[in-house]
Chain A
Amino acid sequence: MTTYFAGNYDVAVIGAGHAGIEAALASARLGCKTAIFTINMDAVGNCPCNPSIGGTAKGHLVREIDALGGEMGKTADECFLQSRMLNRGKGPAVHSLRAQIDRRKYSDTMKHKLELQKNLELRQAEITEIQKSEHGYTLTTRMLAVYECKAVIIATGTYLGGRIFVGEVSYESGPDGIFPATELGKSLKNLELPLRRFKTGTPARVLKSSIDFSELEVQKGDEPPQPFSYETENLGENKVDCHISWTNENTKQVIIENIHRSPLYAGRIEGVGPRYCPSFEDKIMRFKDKPRHQLFIEPCGLGTEEMYLQGMSSSLPEEVQLKFYHTIKGLEHCVIMRPAYAIEYDCVDPLAMNATLEFKDFPNLYGAGQFNGSSGYEEAAAQGLVAGINAALKVLGKEQVVFTRDNSYIGTLVDDLVTKGASEPYRMMTSRSEYRLVLRQDNADERLTPLGYEIGLISEERYNKFLKKQEQKKTEIKRLKSTVISPTEEVNNILVSRETSEITTGVRLIDLLKRPQLGYEELKTVDTNRPQLDPNIFEQVEIEIKYEGYIQKQLKQVEQMRKLESKLLPKIFDYREIKGLRLEAQEKLNKIKPLNIGQASRISGVSPADISVLLIWLAQNK
C-alpha cells in the first residue's frame, strides 16, 4: 500500500477529547503549527460519561485551567444548564463548583473553537503508526497519510485498544459506539512504552418521559449560579433541575442474584478499575450492609430526552440492568436508551514521564489524559494543557514549565502521576493536596494568571484586568485595617444574633471579620463605606483574613518543600553508583529519575536517610 506525505507540523495531538483539545489549543496559541486528530469528527470534546463539568477538586482544576488561559471553563459556562457550589459550609478549601452541561452543545462548541483556531488543523483520522524520525516523529493514518511532526502528544482516552463489556457480551469499541484505535497500541508497544490495561464504566441513559418524577426529590441550582471562567460576565439562569432517588433492598437482591453474570466477577475483565468509581454491583458487593444508595437523575441536554443515572454504572447484562433500574423509585417503568457498560483500554505507566509530561526516554513525545492513567474530563484537560504548553515551548526552543504542588492542583495531579504512579485510574480529590487552604478555587487567578501571561496564553487585556483586581483587593484590605466600627447598639445586636461577643470599644473591621461567626454579609449594614467590587474580591479577602494563621502555616510548609525542590538531581545517572543508598531506593530512583530532592522525598521507598545520602552526594559532586 502506498502512503502519501501530508505535511510537516510542529506539534501533533492524537485524540480530540478533553486532553487533546486543551493541548492543541495551547500549542496553536503559542504559535506552533499544530494538527489534532480524531477518529470521529462528531466525537470532539465528547462527554461519554456524566453530563457535567467540575465537582470537588475537579472544579479547582477547571478554575486553574481557566486562569492559565485554557478553554474548558469558558465552554462549560457557555453550555451550562445548572450550576452549584458544592461543600458550602465545609470551608473555603473544599468549595468546588460543578455545572450540568448540555453535552452535544459542549462538543459542538469545542469543535467549532478548534476549527476557528489559528495555526490549528482538525482532522478526522485514526493514527495507526508512530515512528521515531530524524527530527521528531512520523505519524501514519489509516488512510495512509504521513505527517512529519517535531513533537507528538498522545491523548487517546479510552479509545486505545478499547473493549466494551456488557454482561457476557464483549467487543472492541471506543465509547458511545465509536471505533476504537486498534493499531496504534501495537506501534506504541514496538517503541517499548510501558502499557497496561485500565477499566472504567458508565451508567445507562434513560428516556425522560419514562421516569416518574412526582415523588423524587428535586435538586436545584444555586441562585445566582457562578461561572467557572474569570472571563464569563453573563452566565444566565439555571435551565434545568436534577432529581434524587434511592436504591432499596430489591435492587440489592437483583444484583446479588445476578452477580455471576458480571464480567468483572466472572474474571473476564483484566483491567484495573478505580476504587472511587466502582460499578453499582461493586458498591453492593463491597458494602453489603448499606441498605440503600443514592442516585442522581441528570438531563443530558436541552435538545434531548436522554437522562443520565449518576451512581448506577454497571457492566451487568442489559436485561439485568433493566431489572434493577426498575426496582428504583421513579424508574419503575424506565426505558433504557443507551445501556450501561464497562470499558477496558490501554494506558501508560506515568512513571515513564517527566513532570512536563514528556516521556523520559522519548524526547518530544508527550502523553495526557486517560492515556496517562487518570480518569475524568477535568484531570484530562489539565494534563492536556500542561502537555500542550510544554510541547510548544520545547519546539520553540524555550524552557518548559513544571507546575508544582504548591501552585496548583494541576501540579499536584502531575506530580502524583509521575512520582507515585497510578495503580488505578487517578481521580483528583481535595485530600490529595497538602496545601488545600492555599490552593483554593477562588484564588486560582492569583496563583496562576501571572504564569499564564508569562507563558503567553493570557492576553494583555485580561492580564491588566487581573492586575486591577489585585490592586482593588489590596486597597480593600487596607480599608478594613483602617476602618473602626463603634460599639453601637446596631453592631452589638448583629454580634449577639451571630452568637459572638459584643464590643465595648471601637474595633477595626478586619478584627471583626476574623471572627468565624462574621462575614461581609453579616456586617453589610454597619460597614457603610463599603466600595462596589467584584464579589470574588470580597470572597478572597474574607477567606485570607479568617484563615490567615492556617494559610501562614501551610505557606511555611511550602517554603520548606521549595528549598528541597531547588536542589536539582541529574537526569541521566545510575543511582546504583551512590554508596549508602538502600537497594530499594536505588531501584525506585533509577525508575523515576526525580528532578530534585523534593520529588525524591515523595517517592515511597526512599527514606529520610536515603535523602541525606543524596544531599551529601550532591554536595560532593557540585
Chain B
Amino acid sequence: MSREITSKNIDDKLKQKIREISGEIVQQCMQCGTCSGSCPMIEHLDYSPRLLMALLQWGQAEKVLGSNTAWICASCHVCQARCPRGVEIPRVMEAVRLLKLRANVNHIEPSNLQPEEIIDLPQIAMVSGFRKMTS
C-alpha cells in the first residue's frame, strides 16, 4: 500500500471521532505489534491491528474505512488482554465498524442469507452477527 502522508489525506478529526465512540485514545499505542502477533485473524487482514492503529494515528480515514480489518475482527479481545499500553483495541475496531454502520450502511444483509444457511445457524450466530455487522 502507499504510505504517503500529505496534508491532503489527513483527516484530523478521525482520532477524535474514534475517541468519542470508543473512549479509546489511539495515540497511546506504541506500535509494539503484540496485538498483531496475538490476532487469530492476522493472516486474513489487509492491515494488521498494529498498522490500523498507526493509520488511525495518522488520520488515514480512507485507508481505515476501506480496509477489511475491523470487519474480520471477531471481538475475541486477545489483543486487549495482551496490550502493554492498555489500549482496548476491540473498542477501536467497533468504532471503525460504527463509522460505517451509523451511516445506515449494512456490512452483511440479513435478507440475503440463504434458507439453507439459516436452517443450520444457531440463533446466537445471527444475533451476534447482526449486532456487529448491521446498522
Co-complex (A, B):
no
Which chain A residues have a beta carbon within 8 Å of chain B's beta carbons?
A: none
